[in-house]
C-alpha cells in the first residue's frame, strides 16, 4: 500500500496549506522554522518523510527573499531525509516580473528562481498563474501550471444573475488572453485598455478599445500589486460611463499605496484568491477571498 503523502507548510502559506491538507483528510506535517539572532533562517523537518511523497507549500510573496530562502532551506533539508519525491508548491511565484531582459545588465530572476528550486531538491513543482508562460520554459523539472480563472468564473455564475449586461475589460495587452476566457464563457463583449508604463510602477492609459458606457464591468488581472493599473483602468472606464465594477485578480500582492488606492476607488467587489495570505489590516469591506485550496488539493490527489 502506498505511504500517505506529507504536506508541509512554509510560514507564508499556513492557512492555505491547512485548507489543502484538510481537503485531503490530512494534518500538516511537523516542521520547525525559526530565526537566529542575526535573522538567518533555521529549518528542521520533524516529520518522518523517508520513502514518502512530500508536498511543500510556500508562497513567494513579500518578503520574497525571506519566504523563498525558507523554501530553499526546506527543500535542501528534505532531500537529506530520502523522501520518495519532493514537490515544491508555489501558489505565488517570486521574482516573476523579470522573465526576460529588457535592458543589458539585468538578471532574469524568474529563471534563477526555477533553477534554485531544482538545485535545492525539488523533483516537481506546482504553481498557480505564473505572470508569464515564458517562465514555464525555465523549469528543468516537471511543472504543473494551474489556472485559477475558473474560481472566478464559478463565482460570477453563482452570484451574478445579470451577467449578460457586463463587459469584460482587459486592463492591458497582457490581460487580453485571460479576459477572453470570461468573454467566451459568458458571451459578453471585451474592451481593451492599451496600457503603457513610462517608468517602473507608473501607468498610463489613453484610450479604450470597445464600449463600456452603461455597462457593468469585470476587470480580470493576474495580480494587483501597487493597484496603479487598476485605479487608472477604473478611472478611464468610469469617465466613459461604466456602471458597477468587479475586479477579479488572482494574486493580492497589494504593495505600496494599493490598499489606499483601492479603498478610494469606485469598486463594487474585489475578488481575490488566497495564493497570498491577506492580513486583516489589508482586508477591505468589498473584498472577497476565494480559496485556491480545492485546485491545489486536486492537483496533489491526481499526482498520488
Ligand atoms: C502586468 O503585467 C500585470 O498583469 C499587472 O497588471 C501588474 O503587475 C499590476 O501592477 P500594479 O498593480 O502595480 O499596477
| Terminal-to-terminal C-alpha distance of the chain | 12
pLDDT higher than threshold 90 for residue 175: yes
- Report the SS3 class of residue 186: helix
pLDDT of residue 200: 79
Work out the mean pLDDT of the chain and round it to a whole number.
Answer: 95
pLDDT higher than threshold 90 for residue 168: yes
Query: What is this structure's pTM?
Result: 0.95
Active-site option among 53, 124, 195, 215: 195
pLDDT of residue 197: 83
pLDDT of residue 206: 79
Q: What are phi and psi of 153, to 5 degrees?
A: -55, -45
pLDDT of residue 95: 97
Closest atom, ligand 1, to C-alpha of 175: 4
pLDDT higher than threshold 70 for residue 31: yes
pLDDT of residue 60: 98
Q: Which three cell numbers stand for residue 152?
A: 472566478
pLDDT of residue 290: 98
Q: Which of 40-44, 46-50, 91-95, 197-201 has the lowest mean pLDDT?
A: 197-201
Query: 168 C-alpha vs ligand 1 centroid, how far in Å?
Result: 17
Alpha carbons within 13 A on the beta-carbon side of 116: 17
pLDDT higher than threshold 70 for residue 162: yes
pLDDT higher than threshold 90 for residue 201: no
Instruction: Calculate what percentage of the chain has a pLDDT beyond 70.
Output: 99
Average pLDDT over residues 203-218: 91
Bridge partners of 207? none
Is any ligand 1 atom within 6 A of the Cβ of residue 232?
no
Bridge partners of 145? 127
Preceding peptide of 159 cis, ω within 30°: no
Q: Which three cell numbers stand for residue 128?
A: 498557480
- Report the SS3 class of residue 209: strand
Cell 493599473 found at: 229
Cell 525559526 found at: 34
Is any ligand 1 atom within 6 A of the Cβ of residue 225?
yes
pLDDT higher than threshold 70 for residue 1: no
Could you read off the pLDDT of 85-131 as tens digits, one per residue? 999 999 999 999 999 998 899 999 999 999 999 999 999 999 999 99
Query: 170 C-alpha vs ligand 1 centroid, how far in Å?
Result: 12
* Contact between residue 15 and residue 58 where contact means Cβ atoms under 8 Å apart: no
Average pLDDT over residues 174-195: 94
Average pLDDT over residues 286-300: 98
Judge whether 101 counts as a catalytic residue.
Answer: no
Amino acid at each position: 500500500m502506498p505511504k500517505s503523502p506529507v504536506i508541509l507548510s512554509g510560514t507564508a502559506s499556513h492557512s492555505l496549506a491547512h485548507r489543502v491538507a484538510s481537503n485531503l483528510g490530512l494534518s500538516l506535517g511537523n516542521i520547525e522554522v525559526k530565526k537566529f539572532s542575526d535573522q538567518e533562517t533555521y529549518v528542521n523537518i520533524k516529520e518522518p518523510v523517508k520513502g514518502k511523497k512530500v508536498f511543500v507549500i510556500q508562497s513567494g510573496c513579500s518578503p520574497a527573499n525571506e519566504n523563498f530562502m525558507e523554501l530553499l532551506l526546506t527543500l535542501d533539508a528534505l532531500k537529506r531525509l530520502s523522501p520518495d519525491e519532493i514537490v515544491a508548491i508555489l501558489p505565488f511565484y517570486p521574482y516573476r516580473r523579470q522573465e526576460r531582459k529588457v535592458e543589458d545588465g539585468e538578471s532574469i530572476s524568474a529563471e534563477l528562481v526555477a533553477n534554485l528550486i531544482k538545485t535545492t531538491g525539488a523533483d516537481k513543482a506546482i504553481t498557480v498563474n505564473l505572470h508569464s508562460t515564458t517562465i514555464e520554459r525555465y523549469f528543468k523539472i516537471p511543472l504543473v501550471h494551474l489556472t485559477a480563472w475558473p474560481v472566478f468564473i464559478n463565482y460570477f455564475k453563482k452570484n451574478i444573475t445579470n451577467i449578460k449586461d457586463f463587459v469584460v475589460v482587459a486592463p492591458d495587452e497582457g490581460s487580453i488572453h485571460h479576459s477572453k476566457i470570461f468573454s467566451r464563457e459568458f458571451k459578453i463583449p471585451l474592451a481593451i485598455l492599451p496600457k503603457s508604463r513610462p517608468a517602473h510602477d507608473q501607468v498610463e492609459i489613453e484610450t479604450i478599445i470597445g464600449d463600456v458606457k452603461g455597462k457593468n464591468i469585470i476587470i480580470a488581472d493576474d495580480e494587483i500589486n501597487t493597484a496603479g493599473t487598476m485605479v487608472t483602468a477604473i478611472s478611464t472606464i468610469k469617465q466613459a460611463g461604466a456602471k458597477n465594477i468587479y475586479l477579479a485578480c488572482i494574486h493580492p500582492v497589494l504593495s505600496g499605496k494599493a490598499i489606499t488606492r483601492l479603498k478610494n476607488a469606485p469598486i463594487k467587489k474585489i475578488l481575490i484568491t488566497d495564493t497570498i495570505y491577506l492580513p486583516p489590516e489589508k482586508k477591505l469591506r468589498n473584498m472577497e477571498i476565494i480559496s485556491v485550496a480545492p485546485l491545489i488539493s486536486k492537483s496533489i490527489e491526481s499526482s498520488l
